[in-house]
Amino acid sequence: MPVRKKPLAYNSLWQFRNDSWSRLEEASTQLVLAGNRRRPTDPTAGTVSGLLDGLAPIERFWAFPGGQRFQKMRRLFTAGTYDRFAAMVSGINRALVTEAYRDSQSLDTPNEDGAYQYAAAAAEQAPPTRPYFEVLVVEDLSEAQERSLREELRHWRRPDDPFVYEIVVVPSFEDAVMGVRINYWLQACVVRRHIAHRSRHDAATLAPFVGGFRFYDLMDHSPDERAQILARALARVRPELDLYLMTEISVEDLAGRLSHHFRRVFHAREGSLDLHLSLLGGVAERYRAPFFSALRSYSHRPTGVFHALPISHGKSILNSHWIRDMIDFYGLETFMAETSATCGGLDSLLEPTGPLREAQQLAALTFGSRQTFFVTNGTSTAN
C-alpha cells in the first residue's frame, strides 16, 4: 500500500488540504480506470482510503464540501461505486480550486454529483462577485437540525446582500477553538448554550497546526459559564471575530453577566432573521475602507480643472487621438482617481482630519498599535 503524506510534512494545513484533494482526484480517476480495464484495484483503493482518512479530521471545519457531503462521498467509495465517487471527488476539487462554492446555489443539488462540475465551470466563466465568509456555530446538533438551520439562514439571502456566507457547525468547545485556528474563512461565531466539552474526534493530526492549544475542564461549569470561557478563548485566538450568543433564558437576566466579547445576545424565539442581518452588519463594519471609499466617490465627481499639474481625471488621454490605448491598458478608474493635495476633495496628507485619519485609526486597531501612519507622498516626505 502506498504511504500517504502526513500533515507533519507540511508547513500549512491549507497546503496539506489542497494537496490531498488533488491527489484524491488523481487516485479516484485511476481507480475507475483500473476497474474498467479489469485490473486489480486494491493498491489504488488503499491510497484512496488513506487520503480520505487524512482529510476526515479537518473537513468538518470548512463549510464546503462539509461533513455531510464528505460522508456521502465516503459511502460511495465504501459501496464500490467508484464512477460516482470519482465524479463527486473531481467536482468538489474543481469547485475548491475555482472557489465556485462561494456563490453557487447549484452546489446544493442533493442527488446530482455533476452539479459540482457544472458550478465550477460556471465560476470559471463568471467568478463570484461578492465577498464570501463562513460562520462557526457551536452547538451539538443532529444532521437534520444542522440542515434545517442552514436552510433557514439561506432563506433570508437577498440579491443585494453585500456578502454571502455559509455555516460550519461544531459540537464542542475544543472543536470551536481548533476551528478558528485553522479556518480563516471564519469571520463570526454563534455560541449556543448546549455545547459539549471535549471533541468526539482524534485531534492528534491537527496538533502541529493548533500550537499552544489549552484544554479546559468545563465539567463543573454552568452553560453560561462555558459560553463565557469559550468567548474569552476565541477572542485570544482571533480578536477580530464577531461573537454572538443564542440563549433560551431571559436576555435581560443574562446580559449583565456576559463578557464584553459578545457583540449581541439573541433569544432563541427571535428567529434567524436578526441573526442573519447581524452577521452581515458585523462583517460590513469591519469591511469599511474610509479612504478608498472617499477616493472612489471623488473619482466619480465632475470637475472643472484649473491646476498647474496635469490632473484632469483622464481628459487629456480620453481626448487624445494617439494615446487612448493607455485607458485600455491601465483602466479608466486609475485616471479618474487622479488627485493631489492642492485640488481638494479628499484629506490633508500631512495633517489628516477626515477619511485618511479614520483609515489610519482602523489600521492601528487592526495591528494593535497606539497609532498607525500611512506613507502618502513618497519616502522623503515619510522620513
CATH number at residue 227: 3.40.50.2300
Same domain, 150 and 196: yes
Same domain, 318 and 265: no
Q: What's the CA gap between 70 and 92, in Å, rounded?
A: 10
Could you tell me how many residues make up the chain?
383
Q: What's the CA gap between 20 and 179, in Å, rounded?
A: 19
* pLDDT: which is higher, 9 or 355: 355
Q: Which one of 126, 141, 167 terminates a domain?
A: 126
Q: What's the CA gap between 82 and 49, in Å, rounded?
A: 12
192 pLDDT exceeds 70? Answer: yes
Q: What's the CA gap between 142 and 145, in Å, rounded?
A: 5
359 pLDDT exceeds 60? Answer: yes
Same domain, 205 and 57: no
Same domain, 139 and 109: no
Beta bridge partners of 165: 133
Q: Which domain holds residue 104?
A: 1-126
Q: Which one of 258, 287, 316 terminates a domain?
A: 287
Same domain, 225 and 274: yes
Q: What's the CA gap between 187 and 133, in Å, rounded?
A: 6
Same domain, 136 and 282: yes
Q: How many domains does the chain have?
A: 3
Cell numbers representing residue 347 in the block: 484629506
Max CA-CA distance within the chain? 80
Same domain, 299 and 237: no
> Where residue 1 falls among pLDDT bands split at 50, 70, 90?
very low
Judge whether 225 and 258 are in contact, CB under 8 Å.
no
Does residue 195 come out as left (phi exceeding 0), alpha (psi in the -120 to 50 range) or beta?
beta
Residue spans of alpha helices (H) in 79-164: 82-98, 114-125, 143-155
119 pLDDT exceeds 80? Answer: no
Same domain, 109 and 134: no
Judge whether 41 and 31 are in contact, CB under 8 Å.
yes
Q: What's the CA gap between 200 and 210, in Å, rounded?
A: 17
> Where residue 29 falls among pLDDT bands split at 50, 70, 90?
very high
Same domain, 196 and 256: yes
Q: What's the CA gap between 86 and 117, in Å, rounded?
A: 12
Q: Which one of 253, 287, 321 terminates a domain?
A: 287
Same domain, 152 and 78: no
Whole-number percent of the chain with pLDDT over 70: 79
CA atoms in the 13 A half-sphere facing the CB of 203:
23
Residue 211: predicted pLDDT: 65
Mean pLDDT lowest among 156-170, 207-221, 233-247: 207-221
Q: What's the CA gap between 334 and 356, in Å, rounded?
A: 19
Same domain, 304 and 237: no
Question: Please, which residues have CB within 8 angstroms of residue 380's CB and are 6 or more apart in sequence?
Answer: none
